[in-house]
Amino acid sequence: MKAKKRSFKLYAAVLLLALSLLAALVSIFWTPYPLDDTTGGRLEAPGPSHIFGTDRLGRDLASYIMAGIKIAYMVGLSATLIAVILGVSAGLLAAWLPQWADHAASSVFDVLIAFPTLLLAMLLGAAQGRSAWTAILSIGIACSAIIARLTRILAKQVMSKWFFVSAITSGTGKVAITFLHILPNIWQVLSVNAAVIFGVSILAEASLSYLGLGVPPPNASLGRLLQEAQSTVLTSPLGAVLPGLAIIVMVAGVNLLADAIRDMIDSHGTR
C-alpha cells in the first residue's frame, strides 16, 4: 500500500511538472501571439483565434500564461539555487563555530526566518529598482535562512556520530570532513527541503508580482495577470482562473515531488 502511495505521488508530480515545463520550454521559442500584441480585442471569449480568450488589454491569454510559467520557473529555480548555496554554506560554517558563536548564528537564522519576504523585496526594490533580479535575490535570501538552520541541525547530528569523531582524531581537515562525511549524510534531507523551497519561491514570485513588486513589464507574470484580472473576474473569469490554475499545477507538482522523495528516503532508512 505504501509503495502504491509513493508511486501515485511520483507519477502525479511527473505529470503536473511535465505539463508546466512543456509550456515553459515551448514559450522560449514560440507563443501563439507576441506578448505585446493587443490586437485581439478586449476580453474576447475563447475561440479559434484565441483558445483561452484575451485579457482586458487584448493580449492572448494562452501566450501570456505560457510565458508566465517560464518566468515563474526561472525565478523559482534561481531563488532556490541562491537559497541552497547561501544556506548550506552558512549552516555548515555555523556548525563548525565554537558553541557561543554557534548559538549566536542560530539566533540570526531565526531572526531572518521571521523577516517577511515581501518587506525584504520592498527594501531591495527601493535600493536597486524593481526587476527580476530583485525578486530572485529577495526570495533567495529570505529562504536561505531556512536552509541554513536545517543544515546546521543536520550537521550537528552528524558531528555526534562515531565516524566523525574518528575522522577528527585521525587529523583529517575540516574541509575534507565536510565533503566526505557531513554533506553525504545530509544531502537527501536537504534535497527535500530544497524542493519545498522551490514551490515556496514560485508562490512568492506570484505574490510579489500581484503586489507590483515582482518582475516588471513587459515580462509576463502570472501574479500580475491575476491582479489585472481582479476587476473583470465576474465578466471574464478565465483571466483569473487560468493563471491561478497554472500556479496550482506548478506548486502541487513540486510539493508532490518533495513528498515522493521524502517517502523514498524514509523507506530506504527503515530497511
| CATH label of the domain that carries residue 237 | 1.10.3720.10
- Does the pTM surpass 0.75? The reply is yes
| pLDDT more than 90, % of the chain | 31
Cα separation, 186 vs 105, whole angstroms: 20
d(CA 144, CA 76): 13
Is position 46 within any domain? no
Q: Among 144, 145, 141, 153, which residue's Cα sits nearest to residue 186?
A: 153
Structural domain includes residue 33: no
Q: In the chain, how many H helices and how many E strands?
A: 10, 0
SS (H, E, C) 30-48: CCCCCCCCCCCCCCCCCCC
Question: Which residues, in sequence order, are CB contacts of 197 under 8 Å at separation 6+?
Answer: 79, 80, 83, 84, 143, 146, 147
Give me the amino acid identity at 252.
A
pLDDT at 270: 44
pLDDT value of residue 239: 87
Quote the CA–CA distance of 109 and 269 in Å, as a whole number.
29
Q: Given this model, what pLDDT does residue 25 score?
A: 94
What range does the domain containing 212 cover?
2-28+59-269
Query: Of how many residues is the chain composed?
Result: 271
Residue type, 199: G
**Given this model, what pLDDT does residue 4 score?**
56
Confidence bin at 6 (pLDDT 50/70/90): low
**Residue 145 or 266, more confident:** 145
pLDDT, average across residues 9-24? 90
Q: 270 or 232: whose pLDDT is higher?
A: 232
Q: How many domains does the chain have?
A: 1
Average pLDDT over residues 138-164: 89
CB 267 within 8 Å of CB 17: no
Does 92 fall in a domain? yes
User: Which of 31, 54, 71 is CA-nearest to residue 217?
Assistant: 71
Q: Give 77's contacts (C-beta < 8 A, 6+ positions apart).
A: 198, 201
pLDDT tens-digit map of 93-137: 999 888 888 888 888 888 888 877 677 777 776 677 778 888 898
Omega before 116 within 30 of 0, i.e. cis: no
Q: Closest Cα partner for 208 from 121, 101, 112?
A: 121
pLDDT category, 56, cuts 50, 70, 90?
confident
Q: Is residue 48 one of the residues assigned to a domain?
A: no
Report if residue 181 sits inside a domain.
yes
pLDDT value, residue 3 = 54
Say what the pLDDT of residue 116 is: 74
Dihedral sign, Cα of residue 185, residue 187, residue 188, residue 190: positive
Residue pair 171/150 in contact (Cβ under 8 Å)? The answer is: no
Q: Report residue 42 as a C-alpha cell.
A: 478586449
Average pLDDT over residues 230-245: 87
Q: Is residue 45 part of a domain?
A: no
Q: How confident is the model at residue 2 (pLDDT cuts 50, 70, 90)?
A: low
Residue 222 lies in a domain: yes
Residue 125 confidence (pLDDT): 67
- Does 176 fall in a domain? yes
- Rounded CA separation 182/120 (Å): 32
Q: What is the pLDDT of residues 159-200, one digit of tens each?
A: 888 887 787 888 778 888 888 888 888 988 899 999 999 999
- In this prediction, residue 93 carries a pLDDT of 93
